[in-house]
Chain A
Amino acid sequence: MSTFAAVVLFIGVTAYAVLGGADYGAGFWDLTAGGARRGRESRHLIDQTLAPVWEANHVWLIFCLVMLWTGFPSAFAAITTTLYIPLGLAALGIVVRGSGFAFRKVVVRTDQQRATGAAFATSSVITPFFLGTVAGGIASGRVPAGGHGDPVTSWVNPTSLLGGVLAVGVCAFVAAVFLTAEARTRADARLEVWFRRRARASAVVTGAVALAGIAILHADAGRLFDGLTGRGLPLVLISAACGLASLALLHRAAPRLLQALAVGAAGTVVVGWGVAQYPYLLGTQLRIDEAAAPDATLASLSVVAAAALLLVVPAMALLFVLHQRGHLDTT
């Protein structure tokens, strides 16, 4: 029962990493798109692609938080009493990002768009970084089961910083692939080239960071390293293969296939982390079954998960399909 709840929780984490991550990555490209005139078209595409979906993608985060504090309350308390600095900063980043994006859609003057856009874009980079350090802190076993771990070294350490940088990189890569596809759908050859170049660059950089990460994890988080090179190895390899394939096919393959590959590359890393950590919820500190709430609570969560499968998944599919087919007008 507790394993099932943990799997549901981890599906949420993966969905947020991929879908929310793509939105954060779009913010990264928004930030680096250049001055108001030069970056105008790419920002417009980012705006149109993100507007209808970012809030729904954001809900995965709430889903994860709720699943965690209901299904594994002691783990949630341990995480929040230890990693409160990056979590607090991520929370503030989420406010700046969401409101900045919503406001930019409404204001028209260039200086106002610049200010709201900068708020949105900067926090789109900062927030996944801090969430990445949180993941690194948990994965490397720096959150004690009783909570109240070191407030600084729990997230300022090699594995956490790797997690933060990797999160930003993966988000940027997935977003660039999605935006390349979006540009192609809209038959905008110039933007397609623009984003394809960025997809390639971010893939190379992220791949290099991931490679360097092997050494970091080996030195800093032994158990996680063992898990990733042991039980989690197939997933890590699939991720690498997806990344390489998307890089190779960036020029030719259909947008759908590219998107699937990018999602595969990002998603399997996250799933790999989960598999490597199993049966622990907090690094090497707290086992899933130890942290779990009573069975009736887990059963309620399963009912909610089943309802989500029946209601939310089709609704979300409807949203994505309408968006893809151009039925949602975001101008």
Chain B
Amino acid sequence: MPGLSLVTVGASLVPADPAQLLPAREQMAFTLGFHIILVPFGVAFTFLMLIANARGIRRNDETALLLARRWSQVAAVLFAVGAVSGTVLSFELGLLWPRLMGTYGAAFGIPFAIEGLFFFLEAIFVAIYVFGWQRMRPWPHFWTGVPVVLSGIGGTLSVVAANAWMNQPGGFTMRDGEIVEVRPLEVIFNGAFGFEAVHMLLAAYMVAGFVVAGVYAAGMLRGRRDRYHRLGLAIPLTVAALVTPLQIFVGDIAAREVYRNEPAKFAAIEAVPTTGTHVPEVLGGYYANGKVHGGIEIPSGASLLSGYSPSTRIQGLDAIPAEVRPPDRLVAIVHLSFDTMVGIGTALLGLSAWYALAWWRRRDLPRSRWFLRATTVSGVLAVVALEAGWVVTEVGRQPWTVTGHLLTRDAVTTSGNLWLFFAATLALYVAVGATTVYVLRLLRRRWRDQGGAAETDVPYGPARGPEATPAAGQP
């Protein structure tokens, strides 16, 4: 079916890309790439915060409570920046891709509507949780954080449903270029939904876990080895270490699903020029002029991985009609991004195993400085892997916006001035990004000056307002 529409749409193509395509794609890539870094902090960091919170209340652990409270402040700042940068994406969907929205909004929009619902709940309960520390009772306050975590999960699943639909569109009938019938459940639970959603959700938990652990590992490397830092490392790293093997498992399923249902993307991922069997797995290398230059070749590797047999046939780039074949440059990007993601994932699995082993043997963090160094770097690596994975999904779909139905060059706006708009966005986002980092460092310095014990704003501390209710379960 997709093959048929590939040919029919391909035949009526205008070959040249419109001038707006490049700035529009760059702008979308940049703003999405910026926003996606903030996503794990709204979705998964809040979960780490709740673990610390629950531990703090249950074990009467002041350090854990302090961590939870400080994390909630960081989460509040990042949530605000994420909320507004996410809003820009909603505008951009219309401003940059009006043909996508105008024609396919009726189907594509449904998961977004559900996401809106979760975003509402998230914004409401984030506020209650973040501002509720002083004047709410401990357990009720803790429970106001639970909807934040749940709506974060729900929101992620909904947004990814929309993205997955662009990769494997379904659930609608078109007549004369217009959607005339929609089957909402098929739209939401499209072919790519399951693995993409779970993969992204686990990625969010990995990024939040490794980044937060990395921050405390960096502090420990500088000699701050108090309980505060050890706990600040242990909670997120435990979550990340539990999630990582799951992620590798899900990633493996995802790759095979892509092999089965998105052959063009799979050909780009593995950089397969011609259809055939005994296709080698090439690690790294640069794809140009129809072959991979450099890289390490594992004979029949790709065939083995996708079909458990060297005679598994893999569709190459040559099977895609020339008009809709991705240029070599994009194939190279997708292939390298995929290798980056898998490579980092494997390294993070190693780190998780190291941590698990030390914990299993001694019930303690590994003592080596190399472990702390590796953990510090793991945060950055996890973010890189997240970006790389997103490049695989988005660039791997090109030149299609809605695979088999709408080419990116046809989805783009015809309005001009896009470079100007992009330049303004770039300048603004750089300023916002830099200020975000500055503000987080400011918080860190302030907390460090206060020290662990001298904190004046201990959570669930003495109520300060005359109207406040006395907090129960006081230490």
Chain B's nearest CB lies how many Å from the CB of A217? 27
Q: Cβ of B101 and Cβ of A102 under 8 Å apart?
A: no
Chain B's nearest CB lies how many Å from the CB of A120? 11
Residues of A within 8 A of B13 (CB): none
Q: Tell me the residues in window 52-91 of chain B with beta carbons closer than 8 Å to chain A beta carbons.
A: 73, 76-77, 79-81, 83-88, 90-91
Q: Cβ of A58 and Cβ of B123 under 8 Å apart?
A: yes
Q: Cβ of B80 and Cβ of A98 under 8 Å apart?
A: yes
Q: What are the 7 closest A-B residue pairs judged by CB atoms, nearest first?
A: A70-B109, A77-B102, A73-B105, A80-B94, A293-B106, A102-B80, A98-B84
Interface digits, A124-140 against B, CB 8 Å rule (1 contact, 0 not)? 00000000000000000
Residues of A within 8 A of B428 (CB): 92, 95-96
Asked whether any CB of chain B lies closer than 8 Å to the CB of A84, the reply is yes
Contact sample, A vs B, 10 pairs, CB 8 Å cutoff: A65-B90, A65-B91, A76-B94, A81-B414, A91-B87, A296-B181, A328-B127, A328-B128, A328-B131, A330-B131
Chain B's nearest CB lies how many Å from the CB of A93? 10
The listed residue with most B CB atoms (<10 A of its CB), out of A96, A326, A327, A330, is: A327
Binding site for B on A (CB under 8 A): 51-53, 55-56, 58-59, 61-63, 65-67, 69-71, 73-74, 76-81, 84, 87-88, 90-92, 94-99, 101-103, 106-108, 116, 147-148, 151, 293-294, 296-297, 299-301, 304, 307-308, 311-312, 315-316, 318-319, 322, 325-330
Chain A's nearest CB lies how many Å from the CB of B135? 5
Known: A66-B109, A297-B107. A102 touches B421 (CB 8 A): no
**Majority-rule SS of A interface residues:** helix
Query: Of B101, B121, B123, B467, which contacts A80 at CB under 8 A?
Result: B101
The listed residue with most B CB atoms (<10 A of its CB), out of A73, A74, A77, is: A73
Q: Which of B225-233, B334-342, B377-385, B431-439 forms contacts with chain A?
A: B431-439
Asked whether any CB of chain A lies closer than 8 Å to the CB of B7, the reply is no
Q: Cβ of A312 and Cβ of B113 under 8 Å apart?
A: no
Q: Tell me the residues in window 100-142 of chain B with beta carbons closer than 8 Å to chain A beta carbons.
A: 101-110, 112-117, 119-121, 123-128, 130-136
Q: Cβ of A319 and Cβ of B133 under 8 Å apart?
A: no
A248 CA to B167 CA in the complex, in Å?
A: 59
Residues of B within 8 A of A311 (CB): 117, 120-121
Residue of B nearest to A328 (CB): B131
Chain B's nearest CB lies how many Å from the CB of A292? 9
Asked whether any CB of chain A lies closer than 8 Å to the CB of B277, the reply is no
Residues of A within 8 A of B114 (CB): 304
Known: A98-B83, A101-B80. A297 touches B110 (CB 8 A): yes
Query: Of B77, B86, B105, which contacts A70 at CB under 8 A?
Result: B105
Asked whether any CB of chain A lies closer than 8 Å to the CB of B19, the reply is no
Q: Cβ of A329 and Cβ of B131 under 8 Å apart?
A: yes
The listed residue with most A CB atoms (<10 A of its CB), out of B109, B112, B182, is: B109
Residues of B within 8 A of A98 (CB): 80-81, 83-84, 87
Q: Cβ of B439 and Cβ of A55 under 8 Å apart?
A: no
Binding site for A on B (CB under 8 A): 73, 76-77, 79-81, 83-88, 90-95, 98-99, 101-110, 112-117, 119-121, 123-128, 130-136, 147, 179-184, 413-415, 421, 424-425, 428-429, 432, 435-436, 439, 442-443, 446, 464-465, 467-468
Q: Cβ of B123 and Cβ of A91 under 8 Å apart?
A: no
A77 CA to B411 CA in the complex, in Å?
A: 11
Chain B's nearest CB lies how many Å from the CB of A36? 19
Q: Cβ of B87 and Cβ of A58 under 8 Å apart?
A: yes
Q: Cβ of B133 and Cβ of A308 under 8 Å apart?
A: no
Residues of A within 8 A of B435 (CB): 99, 103, 116
Q: Cβ of B101 and Cβ of A107 under 8 Å apart?
A: no
Residue of B nearest to A313 (CB): B120
Q: Cβ of A99 and Cβ of B80 under 8 Å apart?
A: yes
Residues of B within 8 A of A52 (CB): 127-128, 130-131
Q: Cβ of B102 and Cβ of A300 under 8 Å apart?
A: no
A77 CA to B159 CA in the complex, in Å?
A: 20
Residue of B nearest to A79 (CB): B94
A96 CA to B88 CA in the complex, in Å?
A: 11
A113 CA to B455 CA in the complex, in Å?
A: 23
Q: Cβ of B95 and Cβ of A73 under 8 Å apart?
A: no
Known: A55-B127, A62-B87. A326 touches B120 (CB 8 A): no
Residue of B nearest to A147 (CB): B98
Residues of B within 8 A of A294 (CB): 106, 179-182
Known: A92-B425, A102-B80. 15 other contacts (CB 8 A): A55-B126, A63-B116, A76-B98, A77-B99, A80-B101, A88-B421, A98-B81, A99-B81, A103-B439, A108-B446, A296-B183, A297-B106, A315-B125, A327-B468, A329-B131
A273 CA to B162 CA in the complex, in Å?
A: 33
Known: A70-B109, A102-B81, A297-B184. A59 touches B119 (CB 8 A): yes
Residues of A within 8 A of B102 (CB): 73-74, 76-78, 147
A300 CA to B179 CA in the complex, in Å?
A: 15
Q: Cβ of B77 and Cβ of A103 under 8 Å apart?
A: yes
Q: Cβ of B117 and Cβ of A87 under 8 Å apart?
A: no
Q: Cβ of B124 and Cβ of A315 under 8 Å apart?
A: yes
